[in-house]
Amino acid sequence: MLKPFFYYPRHFFLVIIMAIACLAFFMLSGNFKAHSEIQVIDVIGEGLACLLTLLWIYLILKSRPRGYVTRYFYWGLTFVFLALWMDVLDEFIAIPKTLVWDDLLESFTTPIGFIVLTIAMVNWHKEQLVLSRKLQTKEHVFRDHRLFDAITPLADAQYFKQQLQHEINQRHHSAKNIHLMMINIKDLSAINREFGFDTGNQVLSVIAQTISLNIRPCDLVCRLAGDKFILMLLDLADAQVEIMARELQKCIQSQIFYTHQDFQKFNIDCRYTISEVQQDSPATEIQKLYKQMKHQQIIKLRTRMSV
């Protein structure tokens, strides 16, 4: 869970206080320039860079959790901001040549800021490698936060189509096969009606985590739509895919859920269907899964009626 910005107000206000202190030092030490001496283009360029750096500090504090990487980013950007802010002040206030602190501050704050930012980027790189390994079964090749599901920690159907198209294109240069599996959660709408949408969303989130933990790192799972999940399984025989499907079904059926309000216990059932990718169109392959799932339901209904 990302920490909201109100956890960090003192850090942001500290930057503002340092900026005001720099302004006070400049005003006490120098004199305002005449209007004709002010370079408007320089003021616009340096002022815009200064405001954007301040925005970066705000976004870092708002979006990242606490930690040493966040601290490195914060202090690195703060030094860069102060250097840019002093450049802006130089455009309005002339400091006497006899005072050297102005040049020293501008000369040292910029390299210090970029050195700290570099340390932050190196540690952020290490952090991303760890997170990427943890998200491998949910992201696979591409990363696009706009295509992630709002309820589960998985990507959506559009993301899955992009990944599938990528694997199909790669298959032209190799002999690996691709299997798709659709898992349909039974009676999710009834759970939403009886226990509420919060409980239904919890069911989807837990099942998404369960599937992610029980597939290989090279596989991919996404939320297809509503009560359906879709998996892409690489380089497996038909029998192996069937075994994996049955094991996933057992894992889901073994989960125990509790309602938020009255602590009622209930279980979830699911069904699945499998197909091997034959066409070059992801939409066609997904549609084939829908047809197979519907065909299974019809056969099951006819069997019940005959009994």
The full set of domain ranges for the chain reads 5-134, 138-306
CB 60 within 8 A of CB 74: yes
What does the angle CA 149 – CA 154 – CA 157 come to, to the nearest 5 degrees?
65
Say how many Å lie between the first and final Cα of the chain, rounded: 51
The residue among 208, 135, 222 whose CA lies nearest residue 200 is 208
Q: For residue 201, count other CB atoms closer than 10 A to its CB.
A: 14
Q: Dig out the tokens for 176 from the structure.
A: 């690996």
Token representation of residue 42: 């320089």
Encoded tokens for 204: 């989807």
Query: In which element (H, E) is residue 200 found?
Result: helix 197-213
Within 13 Å of residue 139, how many CA atoms lie on the same side as its CB? 14
The CATH number that domain 138-306 falls under is 3.30.70.270
Q: Give residue 2's pLDDT.
A: 44
- Mean pLDDT is lowest, of 5-9, 112-116, 209-213, 280-284, for 5-9
Q: What is the mean pLDDT of residues 24-33?
A: 84
pTM: 0.67
- Model confidence at 143, pLDDT cuts 50, 70, 90, reads low
236 torsion bin: left (phi>0), alpha (psi -120 to 50), beta (else) = beta
For the segment 16-43, the average pLDDT, to the nearest whole number, is 86
| pLDDT tens digit sequence for 185-240 | 988 888 888 888 888 888 999 999 999 989 998 899 999 988 999 999 999 999 99
Token pair 């109100």 is at which residue? 6
> What are the φ and ψ backbone dihedral angles of 224, each rounded to 5 degrees?
-80, -60
Computed over every residue of the chain, the mean pLDDT equals 85
Q: Which residues contact 253 (CB under 8 A, 6 or more apart)?
A: 267, 268, 269, 270
pLDDT at residue 302, as a whole number: 75
Tell the burial category of 293 from Cβ atoms under 10 Å away from its Cβ (0-12, 13-18, 19+).
Answer: middle
CA–CA distance, 116 with 75 (Å, rounded to integer): 7
**Dist. CA 199–CA 260, nearest whole Å:** 7
- For residue 96, the tally of other CB atoms under 10 A from its CB is 10
Per-residue tokens: 152: 């589960």
pLDDT in tens, 234-255: 999 999 999 999 999 999 999 8
Token reading at 31: 């004199």
Query: Distance between CA atoms of 256 and 189, rounded to whole angstroms?
Result: 18
